[in-house]
Structure 1
């Protein structure tokens, strides 16, 4: 039996890298995609079941070339994890159209482009799409007009994909991470913000990159063979608790 192949975007760090490593533990091969070449090469070093592919998913021509290169290298694609994203936070009045377009180009357009380009390969394997949105796509919050809107659109895109692609055996699901203990989050979250998150999250803590990766790889696996069109918040219960936090308003 041929080893399954996953394409993971934004694979050079964070949730994407954690997902790559977990796929490898589970016997998959992984095409690691990122536009940060230096970080990508460093992340792929020592991962024998993975290969790095330096591409920018917001550029249509690069996406087509990327998928062709991956299929040539691996012969198949069984799962696509659309994880690459741009985080841009700021008040509505200071979010100009250039910032808006930059966020949409990767978070929404890139997810659409990669999914479209992979359809032929996924039809052959009756594979899986997993789009990574955010808790910010499920609940409004201050300072996230572009980011939150892009992730809400990804959630609906996932439902469209599930509705239309099921006849080909392709499953499409969406994971919405809540606060995750990444290096970046810990660098920019003040003690006040961290304490507020802990108070608002029923599990009283941030999640880990590995915990999000566990949900992603499950949805890509045969164990989730009858799961499609689902939006799963991996957030410690944060989505259930209501409005945003005062500490995040500045």
Structure 2
């Protein structure tokens, strides 16, 4: 089981990163919205802590989309005005603040759906508008390795702490922006703030698939058991076709950023 935890998520992150190298920031961000981190974490929680625990964690993870999208928007906006250390620090502070606030609200699937829907619908209006950027230096392998190691460590941390922090924080921590933070920092360092904003906007768009996955698990895990994961994956993949069309639409904002310097 330990070996699976160390290999499953890094393997998913590797595939996403390679796809991003080939097709650019929009595809990389879009694919990172898939439940490639939270899915395996919830799977291991279901095995080790039980189906009800995992379903409750999925409900918390669904609400944590609000914190994740807040992170993406904050980083994209701050990155237009400051370097990556400030952008990362401010966006992480925003994520932590929102996550703590969510943890204080009584758990409810209805609330989680409302929180996720609000974040998803508002996100396109909150990002800086950027032009598609397809050129720039290729990512280095050490950064790719960092993403994979971070994903493995998060999986270990959440599953090991699940019995201590409970299903609420297990779900919230499962949506900690591991992949988003690494991709954002590296993109800003090498390709500039406009590229980073495009990447994070695509990530927020791709999170419709994430929301569908968590909602299916929250609704069906107690009754369907582990089969719910297959159903969740199918629904999540089905959302890809819908969200892919959203990527082609221009960001509904007034300010345009065309430079990646």
Q: TM-score, normalised by structure 1?
A: 0.29
Bigger proportion of residues as strand: 1
Higher relative contact order (CA 8 A, sep 6+): 2
TM-score (normalised: structure 2): 0.28
Between Structure 1 and Structure 2, which shows a larger proportion of helix residues? 2
